[in-house]
Amino acid sequence: MSERTRKIESQLKEIAGEEVAALSDPRINGLVTVTGVRVSPDLGQATVFYSVLAGENEEEAREGLQSAAGRIQSSVGAQTRLRRTPRLRFEPDPVVERASRIDAVLREVKTHDDPDNE
């Protein structure tokens, strides 16, 4: 990945994060965090990865983000110097889900191996 691509991803993450935090949609408000952005090689599309606060409805958050995509994309276009604004797509961050599964497995192993719990 080129240095330019990394800078663009970083800039898009910052802008998208600020916009998501400013949304007043109750499906999103304070429950969603932008965790990363990956742009396509031609910079035509950008996948915005997000995490949802534990116990919250991920599907509702996704719907809220998709409905706000146009507003967020407009903000990206206004704040960047890109010839063409990337089309934004929102996806749950797979790293967060994997970390949660690993944590659950580790807790189970600890509970199973801990002689004090018996």
**Per-residue pLDDT reduced to its tens digit, 1-22:** 789 899 999 999 999 999 999 9
Single out the residue of 27, 62, 58, 51 nearest to residue 99, CA to CA.
51
Question: Residue 75 corresponds to which tokens in the numbers above?
Answer: 């903000």
Residue owning tokens 């950008």: 46
CATH class of 3-93: alpha beta
Residue owning tokens 């499906």: 27
What is the pTM for the complete model shown? 0.78
Instruction: Give the contacts of 9 (CB within 8 A, at least 6 positions apart).
Output: 36, 37, 38, 39, 46
Residue pLDDT, tens place only, 32-60: 889 999 999 999 999 999 988 776 678 88
